[in-house]
């Protein structure tokens, strides 16, 4: 839906210092452009649970991190997310790939569609659903609004591939 | 399990004495409980409340945010097992200013000293080396640890030191030292104030 260059430029405009990430086939290809642009550092972790805590440490250390993961990784993140967002009340923002949302050819009946939004609601994360290229600006708007409110937020990026 | 073990509290006291004014110290589990009995510092991050496995990752984030400072993470062995991949992430990120101290007591002490999986048989030293840590140490005698701790903290990082310590039973786990969000804000302010 978006090119790596579009995302890299957006992150730079928003002042994101670090993207802490585990890839999928939609968000993964953005890494190259983000690194090439050079203003936002890509931090690769082994599990999404790590990503929230690394982002927590970056935030405590005075930086502006963003967590970029697939919704499968959101499920994996559970307790790390709870501690960072709700115990330590850190206003971390995330970009979450919404697997199979636009197309279920690869994974018919993908249960990501059943659980992703209820899980975000359960974790009390204010999210916006992004399903068309025309919504690029909404990502930044939501980031800025959450930042101003000092609260966590997310954008769910509809994906057509696994 | 026949290796000699030192007192965890004494090992921690040596870290406390060696820590520099600009160093960040992250503690969790029984090391957090013992650390809170010592003089506190604005750059302490007592990870209570937390859950297992988070300390090394938080430490990595702080180390990347503050590359000019040393970050020392005092972790439990059970918590280390829960997030072994974080050692790979730390090395991959090139966090040369990060020191991970693993307090290997062979048990989940805080929950009543149930054994961790394969106590005594896990080669944390090999795991750290194999993950790409630049400096890896192992200690089980308090006098040697006291002698070496300063040098170890200053070794080229990322650094891991495996500390064989005695489990302690009958002491409750760490109690939260106050609302985490406030402590987090104070920590960030202290870092910014120090510059
Ligand atoms: C994810 C998670 N699972 C289980 C627990 C329950 N629990 C609290 S402390 C603890 C033991 C921690 O062991 P270790 O990291 O070795 O530290 P020690 O208590 O030995 O200092 C356990 C299992 C927890 N806090 N978090």
pLDDT (tens digit, 9 = 90+) per residue, A104-114?
998 999 999 99
User: Per-residue pLDDT for A43 more than 60?
Assistant: yes
Residue B155 lies in a domain: yes
B117: confidence class by pLDDT, cuts 50, 70, 90: very high
- Smallest Cβ–Cβ distance between B61 and the set A44, A56, A83 belongs to A56
Q: What are phi and psi of A138, to 5 degrees?
A: -65, -30
Q: Which of A21, A23, A54 should we substitute to test contact with B (largest number of B Cβ atoms within 10 Å)?
A: A54
Residue B2 lies in a domain: no
d(CA B31, CA B12): 7
Range B41-70 average pLDDT:
96
pTM above 0.80, yes or no: yes
User: Per-residue pLDDT for B1 more than 60?
Assistant: no
Residue among B108, B113, B122 to mutate when testing ligand 1 (max atoms within 8 A of CB): B108
Range B44-64 average pLDDT:
95
Residue B3 lies in a domain: no
> Could you tell me which of B177, B182, B139 has the C-alpha nearest to residue B10?
B139
Residue A86 sits at the chain B interface (C-beta within 8 Å): no
Structurally, how many domains does chain B consist of?
Answer: 1
pLDDT (tens digit, 9 = 90+) per residue, A117-160?
999 999 999 999 999 999 999 999 999 999 999 999 999 999 98
**Which tokens in the block code for residue A144?**
């800025």
- Smallest Cβ–Cβ distance between B61 and the set A44, A47, A61 belongs to A61
Domains of chain A plus CATH, in order, are 4-158 (3.40.50.970)
Q: Which domain holds residue B138?
A: 8-194
Collect all residues with Cβ–Cβ distance below 8 Å to B130 and sequence separation of at least 6.
none
User: Per-residue pLDDT for B160 more than 80?
Assistant: yes
Could you please report the per-residue DSSP string of B79-128?
HHHHTTHHHHHHHHTT-TTEEEEEEE-SEEGGGT-EEPSSTTT--HHHHH
Residue B60 sits at the chain A interface (C-beta within 8 Å): yes
For position B171, which CATH number holds? 3.40.50.970
Residue among B105, B110, B172 to mutate when testing ligand 1 (max atoms within 8 A of CB): B110
- Asked if B86's CB is within 8 angstroms of A50's CB, the reply is yes
């Amino acid at each position: 839906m978006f090119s790596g260059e579009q995302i890299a430029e957006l992150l730079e405009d928003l002042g994101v210092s670090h993207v802490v990430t585990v890839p999928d086939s939609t968000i993964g290809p953005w890494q190259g452009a983000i690194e090439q642009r050079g203003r936002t550092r890509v931090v690769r972790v082994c599990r999404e649970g790590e990503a929230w805590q690394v982002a927590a440490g970056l935030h405590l250390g005075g930086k502006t991190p963003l967590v970029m993961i697939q919704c499968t990784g959101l499920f994996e993140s559970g307790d790390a997310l709870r501690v960072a967002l709700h115990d330590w009340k850190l206003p971390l923002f995330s970009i979450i790939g919404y697997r199979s949302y636009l197309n279920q050819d690869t994974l018919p009946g993908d249960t990501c569609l059943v659980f992703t939004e209820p899980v975000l609601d359960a974790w009390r994360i204010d999210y916006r659903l992004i399903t068309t290229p025309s919504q690029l600006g909404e990502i930044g708007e939501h980031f800025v609004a959450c930042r101003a409110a000092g609260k966590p937020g997310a954008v769910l990026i509809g994906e057509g591939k696994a | 399990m026949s290796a000699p073990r030192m007192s965890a509290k004494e090992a921690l006291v040596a870290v406390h004495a060696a820590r520099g004014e600009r160093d960040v110290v992250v503690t969790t589990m029984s090391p957090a409980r013992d650390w809170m009995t010592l003089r506190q510092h604005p750059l302490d991050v007592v990870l209570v409340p937390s859950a297992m496995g988070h300390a090394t990752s938080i430490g990595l984030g702080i180390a990347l945010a503050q590359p000019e400072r040393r970050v020392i993470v005092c972790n439990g062995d059970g918590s280390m097992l829960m997030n072994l991949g974080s050692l790979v992430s730390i090395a991959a990120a090139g966090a040369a200013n990060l020191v991970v101290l693993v307090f290997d007591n062979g048990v989940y002490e805080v929950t009543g000293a149930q054994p961790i999986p394969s106590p005594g048989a896990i080669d944390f030293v090999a795991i750290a080396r194999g993950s790409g840590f630049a400096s890896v140490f192992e200690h089980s005698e308090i006098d040697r640890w006291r002698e070496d701790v300063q040098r170890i903290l200053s070794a080229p990082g990322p650094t891991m030191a495996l500390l064989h310590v005695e489990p302690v039973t009958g002491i409750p786990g760490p109690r939260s030292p106050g609302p985490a969000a406030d402590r987090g804000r104070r920590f960030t302010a202290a870092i910014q104030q120090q510059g």
